[in-house]
Amino acid sequence: MTILPTDRFATKAIHAGAHVDVHGSVIEPISLSTTFKQTAPAQPVGQYEYSRSQNPNRHNLEEAVAALENGKYGLAFSSGSATTAVILQSLPQGSHAISIGDVYGGTHRYFTKVANTHGVETTFTNELVEQLPNLVKDNTKLVWIESPTNPTLKVTDIQLVANTVKKINPEILLVVDNTFLSPYLSNPLTFGADIVVHSATKYINGHSDVVLGVLATNSKALYERLQFLQNAVGAIPSPFDAWLAHRGLKTLHLRVRQAALNATKIAEFLTQSDKVVSVSYPGLSTHPNYDVVKKQHRDALGGGMISFRIKGGAEAAAKFTSSTRLFTLAESLGGIESLLEVPAVMTHGGIPKDQREASGVYDDLIRLSVGIEDTEDLLADIKQALDVSV
Ligand SMILES: *Cc1c(COP(=O)(O)O)cnc(C)c1O
């Protein structure tokens, strides 16, 4: 199917990378073959030779992700973490990187426990825009941001960061982890990012049954460098996982819109409750970065993630998270089903308490990943769990 530049999001989600095979199959078959026939040495029958280098299902997914992120090129990896690893491996030895402070835990771990052993040093800051001019060094090669952040949902003005970075040195790469919003709510490349990355494990696949990562870029040189590493490192998704993630992506717009509508109702309810200390949700006009949300998110939607502090400390948080009927207590996010967790003892348990609290992750903080169940049922679940725990 040819995608036109004028095609809108849902049309691209359904048709980008959806190619008809020799049988006319409307849905692409899963191509499990590890190798592809050649008619003469170095003369493959089609465009594929060996499945680590490229495979039809991965190729289709990469094409679809690029289309949804308004990028020219896409690449898929075995996980979001593998995507991060390959980008950081692409930096020359002796490079310096700057990262937003409350970055995803696995990304922080890679920067501080792996990349540094290959001679890449990272500076973390919670005041990225203000601090950039002071932090950039001669060897700074990359700036890494995540918006909204996890779990406190601070929103960063990507365009402002891009302008600031490029003014200092146009060679510095700006990478945005767009996992929490998905390509439906925001497209960082259009705000000046060089690379956008996703843990497709979350919203893009959306059904909590695949671990996979993707990136998109408009730079041919970057794409070729990263594709070379994708093949050299071999951290690639299986054809089945690529096929599943591509299937999931086709309903991304419906799922993310419903999750955001549900989350908005829940966030509004929590804001009114006297059992709640504070609520962080980018879709509320009271969010400190709402002016950025309005220009950076589709229809100013806040996404499906909420965090809030419950009255009664860690004890109330533990009681609440074991009292919900529909929200399952589990890590991860972005699936059709609602999940919840206590970051201080789960996803962010490895961070020392003082550092954790400095970025707002208190013992009473609860993170919700709002799914696409009926709004009223989810609201009733939150209400009854608050009633029994506070
Ligand atoms: C989950 C996640 C990752 C890591 O992705 P995996 O697929 O679990 O390796 C990276 N960034 C963010 C924001 C995430 O939520």
pLDDT in tens, 73-122: 999 999 999 999 999 999 999 999 999 988 898 999 999 999 999 999 99
Distance CA 128, CA 272 (A): 32
Q: Single out the catalytic residue among 12, 141, 202, 255.
A: 202
Ligand 1 contact, 106 CB (< 6 A): yes
Ligand 1 centroid to Cα of residue 267, in Å, is 24
Cα dist from 378 to 64, 65, 69, 272, 375, whole Å: 32, 30, 30, 16, 5
Q: Which residues contact 339 (CB under 8 A, 6 or more apart)?
A: 327, 328, 329, 330, 331, 332, 333, 368, 369, 371
**Hey, where are the domains in the chain?**
9-249, 253-389
Distance CA 245, CA 350 (A): 30
Distance CA 141, CA 95 (A): 6
Q: Which residues contact 195 (CB under 8 A, 6 or more apart)?
A: 87, 173, 174, 175, 176, 215, 216, 217, 222, 226
Ligand 1 contact, 177 CB (< 6 A): yes
Distance CA 218, CA 116 (A): 28
- Is 69 a residue whose pLDDT tops 90? yes
User: Residue 211 corresponds to which amino acid?
Assistant: V
Q: Single out the catalytic residue among 73, 104, 110, 223.
A: 104
Residue 123 φ then ψ, to 5° = -110, 130
Ligand 1 contact, 211 CB (< 6 A): yes
Q: Is 102 a catalytic residue?
A: no
Ligand 1 centroid to Cα of residue 26, in Å, is 31
State the Cα angle at 184 between 129 and 228, rounded to 5°: 75
- Is 1 a residue whose pLDDT tops 80? no
Answer whether CATH 3.30.565.10 is correct for domain 253-389: no
Task: Please report the pLDDT score of residue 349 as a whole number.
Answer: 85
pLDDT tens for each residue of 261-294: 999 999 999 999 999 999 999 999 999 999 999 9
CB 196 within 8 Å of CB 215:
yes
**What confidence tier does 325 reach under pLDDT thresholds 50, 70, 90?**
very high
CATH code: domain 9-249 is 3.40.640.10
Ligand 1 contact, 83 CB (< 6 A): no
DSSP 3: P
